[in-house]
A and B are shown apart, each in its own frame.
Chain A
């Protein structure tokens, strides 16, 4: 019995020809899927999601994980805004894909308070340690960071988050970290790819700021002894588009760390800190990290500080 030549490649053309039976079966599956969607039992079944799941494995944290950790099944799961190529590259760079939701099951904001309420009791039972590091309930944590515990929630949507600090991002001030982040995005993340419009704008804004903003210029040119208005600089740096697009807020850091640990049993940032885009009431920029059994620690620094265990995680959104 000879070998049919088309068998060499037909596996790569699964959709080219289909028998009537296959078409019918697909139609039935599609209908069933739509019915599930309508009933709200299943909210995502797109091929992209399945592909992303196959590609990223444990580094995809989607609706199922959210339901398991936060007890909320998102009503409308947004489409993954990243291409397959971007996800492949993200995987190579050690990033995870996280779906963030901003509301709880009963419609409250997914605030720090709520996250602690939902998770801490269960973690205590399971012997998984604490979420936030504090010796006096959450008072110290609140005082140190000035974080909004009751209202502010993560920004909803799919985000690519690096599991480790950006290479060479420690011992750098906030502006130097931003400069490094821009270079990393241009040279590595978007290398040979089309740069999304919002990132193009963010890069332009950063270039503009470097040329016109005295505080930023001082932080970049004279990092050992910058003469600058630190509060003004912190505000400007935190509000930059690039900061908002690529750094986590306090709430987002906690959300991501909790989910990843809950799913994979691994605590990220075990002995380093990431500098967030959130500011304390006095104006410093908040950093979070050293996540161990006693919980995530947090601190705050003026933007000129350079600390050897303080770097930045890339948290890329679109």
Chain B
């Protein structure tokens, strides 16, 4: 183009619809900037100031990394030591001299790290960076795994991981939406570095879905293994979702598999193929109400096999049962997750200073309302009968609950609105209006509205805005304190 001359350049710019004047402006502006940078770069005071700033940041980062490293090492050492101790207690055997030395070494290391951490010089800047990195870590987990490893979940993972690595099975039991399946997937992807095979169990599950089935390929009869068996062959963990629905006729196959550990061989009942076990089975089960207990309860023999493995662990909604010193309900882990959703990659939420207290209050009331719904739902599931609930200020939730995932979606939408819309509008749009609810579940939705109103939301919202069939205007006015 250079060879063709200036006209060609102008013609080209025309075709790109770029204003030559603008081009000129940009070029002059950029040239000015270049000049300014040159000037500044030759100014020793500016250079020093930049150098100092980066040196400080570098120093803080180095401190943060050493601190995090020590913390991780402490967790690992403590959990290994505890695991060994439990092992010897469980089997009633005393450790031998080599094992004793190993345990002693671990105990010494734990003591030493604790001492180092105690003496660690933490200043405000380092703490600020540590906390921002935590937020960033949660954001990464949410983006990659749709799961946040909060303290309680991390604790649980630390407890089950050594057994899982030995191929022992684990069962996660909990209320719907408490994150059981996500937890299993997370462990598999992050800690076992394997993509799991997720098998949704139902009462109608067929043998072919568990073991595989015969089929034809190029005119020949072959046996096509199921996803379940394929995963076993490939050394990938298997997640049996809602294992409590597994029909009893498959109990034998399941029990056989649940007893295997890494290094064992499982013989496929149809093909007779010897499949070496290299990954664990993780299972989930919903905690059901008393009414459904008989139908859904996991049989004792299966349960025993999990207990003999990495355990049958209960997973509840985050922060359930947590209270502050004054007895008020608190939700630190939920706030941590939601804070990470609301924040940018630097750990900041775009609330201006004047608005921040109001927004913070809105958020905390929202979390409090969700907590209350989850608490009452959990209680309804555990206790069942309506009479029990009628004696207290608790509300009965039979089918619907607001999960952490729902809360995250609401937060995402709030953030996307640039926090300009009031949170209650987002809750209405992203939660209540997403699905029109009728039947038995409508009562649950009504109760949710009551909880939100008790937390100072929806003071003037009209009944039709909730999209709940049968929601009486009079009841709503009563809850809103208007009648």
B359: min CB distance to chain A, Å: 8
Q: Mark B325-345, 1 if CB is under 8 A from A, else 0.
A: 111001011011011101110
Nearest CB to that of B344 among chain A residues?
A: A2
Cβ contact of B122, chosen from A4, A7, A20, cutoff 8 A = A20
Cβ of B121 < 8 Å from any Cβ of A? yes
Chain A residues whose CB sits within 8 angstroms of the CB of B323 once the complex forms? 84, 88
Bound form: Cα–Cα A127–B332 in Å: 51
Of all chain A residues, the one with the shortest Cβ separation from B120 is A20
Partner pick for A12 among B326, B330, B338, B351, CB 8 A cutoff: B330
Complex contact A4–B121 (CB within 8 A): no
Give B359's nearest chain A residue, CB to CB.
A3
Smallest CB–CB gap between B337 and chain A, Å? Answer: 10
Whether A18 lies near B351 (C-beta < 8 A) is no
Asked whether, in the complex, the Cβ of A8 is within 8 Å of the Cβ of B327, the reply is no
A20: chain B residues within 8 A (beta carbon): 121-123
Q: A-B contact count, CB below 8 Å?
A: 78
Tell yes or no: A106 within 8 A of B by CB: no
Q: How far apart sit A84 and B121, CA to CA, in the bound complex (Å)? A: 33
Interchain CA distance A4-B335 in the complex, whole Å: 13
Query: Are B348 and A9 within 8 A (Cβ)?
Result: no
- Of residues 1 through 46 on chain A, the ones whose CB sits less than 8 Å from some CB of chain B are 1-10, 12-13, 17-20, 23
Question: Are A54's CB and B325's CB within 8 A?
Answer: yes
* A266 CB to nearest chain B CB (Å): 23
- Complex CA–CA separation, A51 to B323 (angstroms): 12
List, in ascending order, chain B residues with CB within 8 A of A51's CB: 325
B348 contacts A2, C-beta separation under 8 Å: yes
Task: Tell me if B404 counts as interface (CB < 8 A to partner A).
Answer: no
Say whether B353 faces chain A, with CB atoms less than 8 Å apart: yes
User: Which chain B positions have C-beta within 8 A of A18?
Assistant: 122
Q: Are A88 and B122 in contact (CB under 8 A)?
A: no
Query: Does B205 belong to the interface (CB within 8 Å)?
Result: no
Q: Does B131 contact A (CB under 8 A)?
A: yes
Measured between beta carbons, the chain A residues less than 8 angstroms from B339 are: 5-6, 8-9
Q: Mark A182-219, 1 if CB is under 8 A from B, else 0.
A: 00000000000000000000000000000000000000
Question: Is A307 engaged at the interface, CB distance under 8 Å to the other chain?
Answer: no
**Known contacts A5-B342, A6-B339; A19/B360 CB under 8 A:** no
Report how far A12 CA is from B131 CA in the complex, Å.
Answer: 13
Of all chain B residues, the one with the shortest Cβ separation from A192 is B382
B233 within 8 A of A: no
Which residues 298-343 in B have Cβ within 8 Å of A in the complex? 323-327, 330, 332-333, 335-336, 338-340, 342-343
Cα of A23 to Cα of B118 in the assembled complex, Å: 8
Q: How far is the CA of A101 from the CA of B458 in the complex (A)?
A: 55
Say yes or no: is A93 at the interface (Cβ < 8 Å to chain B): no
Does B245 belong to the interface (CB within 8 Å)? no
Contact of A5 among B326, B330, B349, B364 (CB under 8 A): B349
Nearest B residue (CB) for A18: B122
Within 8 A of B (CB), among A137-188: none
B353 and A6 within 8 A (CB): no
Known A-B contacts A1-B353, A2-B348, A5-B340; A17 and B130 likewise in contact (beta carbons under 8 Å)? yes
B351 contacts across to A, CB distance below 8 A:
2-3
Contact A55 B326 (CB under 8 A): yes
Closest B residue to A11 using CB positions = B332
Is A8 within 8 A of B122, CB to CB?
A: no
Shortest CB-to-CB span from A26 to chain B, Å, is: 11
| A19 B326 Cβ-Cβ under 8 A | no
Contact B325 A55 (CB under 8 A): yes
In the bound complex, residues from chain B placing their C-beta under 8 Å from that of A10 are 131
Residue pair B130, A4 in contact (C-beta under 8 Å)? no
Whether A8 lies near B335 (C-beta < 8 A) is yes
Query: Once the chains bind, are B124 and A8 in contact (CB under 8 Å)?
Result: no
Assess the A19–B131 pair: CB atoms within 8 A.
Answer: no
Give the CA-CA distance A10 to B131 in the complex, in Å.
Answer: 9
- Residue B347, interface by CB 8 Å: yes
| B326 lies within 8 A of A3 (CB) | no
Q: B134-175 toward A: CB 8 Å interface, digit per residue (1/0)?
A: 110000000000000000000000000000000000000000
Q: Mark A246-257, 1 if CB is under 8 A from B, else 0.
A: 000000000000
The B-contacting residues of A in range 63-108, CB under 8 angstroms, are: 84, 88, 91
Inter-chain contact B350/A9, CB cutoff 8 Å: no
Q: Mark A240-273, 1 if CB is under 8 A from B, else 0.
A: 0000000000000000000000000000000000
A220 to B342, CA, bound (A): 63
Contact of B332 among A5, A7, A13 (CB under 8 A): A13
The reply to whether the CB of B127 lies closer than 8 angstroms to some CB of chain A is yes
| Contact call A17/B127, Cβ cutoff below 8 A | yes
B363 interface contact, C-beta 8 A: yes
B380 shortest CB reach to chain A, Å: 15
CB distance from A166 to the nearest CB of B (A): 18
What residues of A have a CB within 8 angstroms of the CB of B332 in the complex?
9, 12-13
- Whether A3 lies near B122 (C-beta < 8 A) is no
A276-313: CB near B (< 8 Å → 1, else 0) gives: 00000000000000000000000000000000000000
Shortest Cβ distance from B132 into chain A, in angstroms? 7
Provided the pairs A2-B350, A17-B122, A19-B122 are in contact, do residues A8 and B127 lie with their beta carbons within 8 angstroms? Answer: no
Q: Is there contact, CB below 8 Å, between B349 and A3? A: yes
Residues of A within 8 A of B130 (CB): 17
A84–B328 Cα gap in the complex (Å)?
Answer: 13
Residue B62 CB within 8 A of the other chain: no
Q: Which residue of A lies closest to B353 (CB)?
A: A1
A residues less than 8 Å from B360 (CB atoms) = 3, 7-8
Let me know if B363 and A3 touch, CB within 8 A: no
Knowing A5-B348, A9-B335 touch, does A19 contact B124 (C-beta < 8 A)?
yes
Considering only CB atoms, which chain B residue lies closest to A21 in the complex? B123
Residues of chain A within 8 A (CB-CB) of B122 are 17-20
Contact of A19 among B123, B333, B338 (CB under 8 A): B123
Q: Are A3 and B348 in touch, CB under 8 angstroms?
A: yes
B356: Cβ under 8 A from any A Cβ: yes
Across the two chains, which residue of chain A brings its CB closest to B339? A5
Let me know if A6 and B325 touch, CB within 8 A: no
Q: Give CA–CA (A10, B118) in the complex, Å.
A: 20
Whole-angstrom distance from the CB of A292 to the nearest CB of chain B?
Answer: 34
In the bound assembly, the distance between CA atoms of A3 and B339 in angstroms comes to 10
Q: How far apart sit A17 and B118, CA to CA, in the bound complex (Å)?
A: 10
Q: Point out the residues of chain A lying under 8 angstroms from B135, CB to CB.
A: 5-6
Assess the B347–A6 pair: CB atoms within 8 A. Answer: yes
CB neighbours (8 Å) of B335 from chain A are 8-9, 12
CA–CA, A17 to B123, complex, Å? Answer: 9
Residues from chain A with Cβ under 8 Å of B325 in the complex: 51, 54-55
In the bound complex, what is the Cα–Cα distance between A8 and B336 (angstroms)? 7
> Closest CB of chain A to B214's CB: distance in Å?
52
Q: Contact: B327 with A55, CB < 8 Å?
A: yes
Please tell me which one of the listed residues A6, A84, A88, A91 contacts residue B134 in the complex, with CB atoms under 8 A apart: A6
Binary CB contact string for chain B from 74 to 98 against chain A (1 if under 8 A, 0 otherwise): 0000000000000000000000000
Most A Cβ at <10 Å: residue of B127, B324, B330: B127
15 contacts between A and B (CB under 8 A): A2-B344, A3-B350, A3-B353, A3-B359, A4-B349, A5-B342, A5-B343, A5-B347, A6-B135, A6-B347, A13-B332, A20-B121, A20-B122, A55-B326, A55-B327
Knowing that A5-B339, A6-B347 are A-B contacts, what are 5 other residue pairs whose CB atoms are under 8 Å apart, sorted by A's residue number? Answer: A8-B363, A17-B127, A17-B131, A18-B122, A23-B118
